[in-house]
């Protein structure tokens, strides 16, 4: 099917991205603690997921240093090369891990990131989370130096509060550099950024919101409501409130509405949830669902082939408002 959600501006940068990108945490190959969140995916499956994502119109991919200590970055690069993608044909976003590090580490480790992703340039370099030994001003100053040296092309943050996002934006703005994005958890079962100032500030400053965990780790699709037996094999997720019996009961009315709309539009429940996310706030929000199966990649891209009506988006908004 044809993609109707076409390219949109990425913050106030010159980049144009598809509303859906591919999150690549699952390519970590269990190389470190962060990587053990996912099973090891064979190279052939990674290649297939990336190829299908490209075929479905996706033009950008999000990875990170902490995803397997570079294993995800390397697997992504290999898969793109296997698919015959040339440098600059797609956008690559990766992230620096700040925990127990100072901002000076940004410059010290950039060569590792460049090597892992070679031959693809770093189109977006993000501070993965706000908990390092340096403040956001120092980190943005270090990032700006990389940009000036043409080692990266754009700068973003991840998991930043409205206050920290404002501080990062101000530091870069003084240098004439836009803060491109803030990557945060955002789904129909987690709409906190709409009430904690992050969404409001992003719209005001022209910063793109990258929604990660856009399907609430699968809960929003209804598969766990339909088959509670699946809850036995979900690892760390079972400790989340959403996956407890009360959480399942709380989300059931929303899930039932999503199912109803999936039938109406002849799409899947995940595609309804993703379509709402990338359209309800205009062009502010883009999403990066992951994919551990070929079918996941096809579902992700399929969410760009239709658009919920304003009336249906309002119904979903009302039913999920309890998660703000």
Residue 287 has pLDDT above 70, yes or no: yes
Give DSSP secondary structure letters for 35-82: GGGSPPPPHHHHHHHHHHHHHTT--EEE--TTTTTTHHHHHHHHHHHH
Beta bridge partners of 184: 211
124, 131 contact by CB (below 8 A): no
- Within 10 angstroms of residue 107's Cβ, the number of other Cβ atoms is 14
Beta bridge partners of 124: 93
186 is catalytic: no
Q: Where are the alpha helices (DSSP H) in 176-219?
A: 198-205
Beta bridge partners of 187: 190
> Where do the structural domains in the chain lie, given as residue ranges?
8-217+278-308
65, 109 contact by CB (below 8 A): yes
Helix, strand, or coil here: 16? strand
pLDDT digits (tens, 9 = 90+) for 23-39: 998 887 666 555 445 56
Choose the catalytic residue: 67, 125, 186, 212: 67
pLDDT digits (tens, 9 = 90+) for 297-309: 999 999 999 999 9
- CA atoms of 34 and 208, how far apart (whole Å): 25
Residue 221 has pLDDT above 80, yes or no: yes
pLDDT digits (tens, 9 = 90+) for 155-174: 999 999 999 999 999 999 99
pLDDT digits (tens, 9 = 90+) for 65-77: 999 889 999 999 9
Please state which architecture CATH assigns to domain 8-217+278-308: Alpha-Beta Barrel (3.20)
Instruction: Give the pLDDT band of residue 234 (cuts 50, 70, 90).
Output: low
């Amino acid at each position: 099917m044809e993609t109707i959600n076409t390219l949109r501006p990425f913050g106030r940068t010159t980049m144009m991205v598809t509303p859906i990108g591919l999150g690549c945490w699952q390519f970590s190959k269990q190389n470190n603690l962060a990587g053990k969140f996912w099973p090891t995916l064979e190279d052939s499956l990674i290649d297939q997921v990336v190829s299908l994502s490209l075929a479905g119109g996706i033009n950008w991919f999000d990875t990170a240093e902490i995803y397997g200590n570079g294993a995800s970055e390397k697997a992504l690069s290999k898969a793109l090369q296997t698919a015959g993608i040339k440098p600059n044909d797609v956008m690559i976003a990766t992230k620096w891990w700040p925990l127990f590090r100072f901002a000076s580490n940004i410059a010290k480790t950039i060569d590792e990131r460049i090597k892992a992703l070679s031959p693809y340039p770093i189109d977006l370099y993000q501070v993965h989370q706000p908990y390092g030994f340096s403040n956001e001003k120092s980190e943005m100053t270090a990032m700006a130096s990389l940009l000036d040296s043409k080692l990266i092309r754009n700068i973003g943050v991840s998991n930043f509060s409205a206050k920290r996002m404002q501080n990062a934006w101000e530091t870069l703005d003084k240098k004439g550099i836009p803060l491109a994005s803030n990557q945060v958890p955002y789904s129909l079962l987690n709409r906190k950024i709409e009430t904690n100032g992050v969404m409001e500030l992003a719209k005001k400053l022209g910063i793109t919101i990258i929604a990660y965990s856009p399907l609430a780790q699968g809960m929003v699709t209804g598969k766990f409501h339909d088959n509670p037996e699946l809850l036995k094999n979900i690892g760390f997720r079972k400790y989340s409130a959403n996956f407890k019996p009360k959480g399942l009961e709380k989300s059931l009315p929303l899930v039932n509405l999503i199912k109803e709309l999936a039938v109406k539009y002849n799409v899947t429940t995940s595609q309804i949830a993703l379509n709402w996310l990338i359209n309800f706030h205009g062009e502010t929000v883009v999403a990066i669902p992951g994919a551990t199966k070929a079918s996941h990649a096809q579902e992700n891209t399929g969410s760009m082939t239709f658009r919920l009506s304003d009336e249906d988006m309002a119904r979903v908004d009302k039913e999920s408002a309890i998660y703000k």
